[in-house]
Structure 1
């Protein structure tokens, strides 16, 4: 993430008034990272995986699947930062994208599924 851009922080679950849907704007060609903060309360979570799927105009344009690891219950939050990505650039890359972020373990148990949208705008 660029030093002159602030973090976008959203607590989950999303407020009911937002209907579980986030919308934010990114500039084309910028670097970003997804940083996750979560707690594990009762049972060990084995092989937690993050899957982020992105569509533009109904066509899947990206799918990133990353292994986060195995986590034991503890009072303190775990903080995981995913690999750096770069938003696409150019006139065809600009526009509104829909995406789904999903967290599941080795047994395919889903812990969170979040639909969100973002818009890629021209770099000014």
Structure 2
């Protein structure tokens, strides 16, 4: 029996904008000190979520994924995948496929928190395979966020679930969050049918 090929890393690389260069990374404390005397600029920074109360927090930038969810008008409650379970707990999402109604419109969403430093240019990447063949790839911009205690939620454009007899079966999905610096903040596999 032939095993299905593993997803290649190339499929999960974010697209690059020609000519775009990632700026020099600065800590939140360094940014809060820039133009300190400009009150309007300080208000603007606060509106962006550059919380100066958290400027003293040490440690590397960190995105803490909380949940991946699917919303659909045909669902009474969203389907939630708890991402706080750790590596062993996430394996349950692979063993117990979620079911999406054939032909249903649904949206993928992510809930996360940012800690310690600003994370810029986050993207959500998703590759869907069936029988080892790529059937769908999604790349969505999440954005740039400063650290804060409250979680952020981002819902992506809706898509239509496959329908018909040939579309029935189990699909392997790999989801990843990556930032401008190439740091991978989340990478896990789950199954749907």
Do they superpose with TM above 0.5? Answer: yes
RCO higher in structure (CA 8 A, sep ≥6): 1
Q: TM-score, normalised by structure 1?
A: 0.88
CA deviation digits over 1:1-21, x for unaligned, max 9? Answer: 115532112221335554534
Q: Are the equivalent residues in 2 in contact too, given 1:14–1:21 (CA < 8 A)?
A: no
Q: TM-score, normalised by structure 2?
A: 0.58
Q: Are the equivalent residues in 2 in contact too, given 1:30–1:87 (CA < 8 A)?
A: yes
Aligned ranges 1:7-22 → 2 under 5 Å? 7-14=78-85, 18-22=89-93
Greater C-alpha radius of gyration: 2
Measure, in 1, the Cα distance between the counterparts of 2:87 and 2:188: 13
What stretches of structure 2 of length at least 5 have no aligned partner? 1-71
Measure, in 1, the Cα distance between the counterparts of 2:169 and 2:81: 22
Measure, in 2, the Cα distance between the counterparts of 1:70 and 1:16: 26
What stretches of structure 1 of length at least 5 have no aligned partner? 120-124
Per the alignment, residue 76 of structure 2 pairs with 5
Q: Are the equivalent residues in 1 in contact too, given 2:90–2:188 (CA < 8 A)?
A: no
Instruction: Kindly indicate which of the two structures has a greater share of residues assigned to strand.
Output: 1
Measure, in 2, the Cα distance between the counterparts of 1:54 and 1:114: 12
CA RMSD of aligned residues (A): 1.6
Measure, in 1, the Cα distance between the counterparts of 2:84 and 2:91: 7
Distance 1:75 1:84, change over 3 A: same
Measure, in 1, the Cα distance between the counterparts of 2:104 and 2:157: 14
Q: Are the equivalent residues in 2 in contact too, given 1:21–1:114 (CA < 8 A)?
A: no
Q: Structure 1 residue 113 and structure 2 residue 180: aligned? A: no
Distance 1:67 1:94, change over 3 A: same
Aligned ranges 1:37-116 → 2 under 5 Å? 37-116=111-190
